[in-house]
Amino acid sequence: MTRADRPTIVDVARAAGVSKGTVSFALNGRPGVSEDTRERILAAARDLGWTPSTKARALSVSRAFAVGIVLAREPELLGADPFFPSFIAGVERTLIDRGQALVLQVVPEAEEEAGYRRLADAGRVDGVFLLDLRVDDQRMALLEELGLPAVSIARPDAPSPFPAVLVDDRPGIEAAVRHLAELGHRHIAHVAGPAHFLHGQRRRQAFEETLAAVGLPAGPVVEADFSAAGGAAATREILKPAGGAAATRQILKPAEQKPTAIVYSNDLMAIAGLSVAVELGVAVPAQLSVTGFDNTDLAAYVTPPLTSVRTDPYLWGRKAAEALLDLIDGGTVDDVPVPAAQLVTRASTAPPPPTVRTEKR
């Protein structure tokens, strides 16, 4: 390329040693191009500094060349939750490779439907991702009405015509409960996410069903909002004394015994719970074992390092974006499987302390 103006698709084709049509197929993610050839074309495009003329493409095919996310969450909670940056990074990695953009709207819950309608009416996006699925979620019907293709993160419990990234939280919670049971814990509590979120409900159901499956009594469940403040308040509720000083000297019946372990529905609440335990003089893990969910980067660096369930939101974002773009292109897209979550054991879990039985004075 010797011209001073911006490189073209012809320049990319020449540099990669392929035809212009092959470059077009590769850059738009269409089938019929081998993975090696696709990578060579993408590398040539990057080396040349080639970027698509989105305006020209949109005018020629009546496409926005953008996809959207509408999140009905407080911006402060969004910034504190490490799931979203990781998921969005995965989405963006795929979109960059295929010349697409992401439109993100953070709105109050009361304005969520209006947010989707604005995106559709203005033609700003060609499709959307559905996150934070709710129990009996009505958004699938809304998106069908609007004619917007969509990919959901997890399979909803309501009828859906859209493909889903098959995220399943239940095996991760089950692994955490079984791990604690194998350590000898018999009284386990759960700090749950909001019950109207499908993943909050499913994690709670997995907790309760696994306790029953391993022959343990039902443990206390406190619902929180996935925030650090919510996790701290829930931990106080679980660990608060049942009475005055005399109560601590009573012989406790099994049903009255305080939990020796807490399973949290995400790492943010678990880390806040560790802080509350320290404040209350409860040693972790000598007196209380703690597990999180998500295995965020910080989990390995708190004191003690947090046992947590490892998930891969970055991969989910990549897979969701690939599926959505294929759906927008008119392809038939099936549900997308992803690897199961795995428990990562660290120093925040250990066998429970010996039962102390003292007579009331």
pLDDT, mean of each 10-residue run, the chain (361 residues): 63 86 73 82 86 51 84 76 91 92 92 93 93 93 93 92 95 98 97 95 97 97 94 96 43 62 97 97 97 95 97 97 94 93 97 64 35
pTM value is 0.78
Examine residue 118 and state whether it is found in any structural domain, yes or no: yes
Task: Answer yes or no: do 291 and 219 share one domain.
Answer: yes
> By the 8 A CB rule, do 152 and 352 touch?
no
Query: Number of folded domains in the chain?
Result: 3
Examine residue 360 and state whether it is found in any structural domain, yes or no: no
> By the 8 A CB rule, do 23 and 4 touch?
no
Closest CA to 312 of 327, 299, 293, 325: 293
Alpha-carbon Rg of the chain, whole angstroms?
Answer: 25
Task: Answer yes or no: do 264 and 207 share one domain.
Answer: yes
- CATH number of the domain that 21 lies in? 1.10.260.40
Tokens of 272: 């806040």
Tokens of 348: 């925040």
Task: Answer yes or no: do 146 and 260 share one domain.
Answer: no
The pLDDT value recorded for residue 7 is 81
The pLDDT value recorded for residue 10 is 82
Question: What's the length of the chain?
Answer: 361
Tokens of 133: 């699925």
The pLDDT value recorded for residue 82 is 84
Which three-class secondary structure state does DSSP give residue 250? Answer: coil
The pLDDT value recorded for residue 250 is 34
Q: DSSP E strands: which ranges in 239-306?
A: 261-264, 289-291
Task: Answer yes or no: do 265 and 275 share one domain.
Answer: yes
The pLDDT value recorded for residue 53 is 55
Question: Any idea which residue has 């990781």 for tokens?
Answer: 86
Residues spanned by the domain of 272: 170-310
Task: Answer yes or no: do 195 and 288 share one domain.
Answer: yes
Task: Answer yes or no: do 201 and 130 share one domain.
Answer: no
The pLDDT value recorded for residue 52 is 62
Task: Answer yes or no: do 146 and 240 share one domain.
Answer: no
> By the 8 A CB rule, do 293 and 308 touch?
yes
- CATH number of the domain that 335 lies in? 3.40.50.2300
Task: Answer yes or no: do 99 and 86 share one domain.
Answer: yes
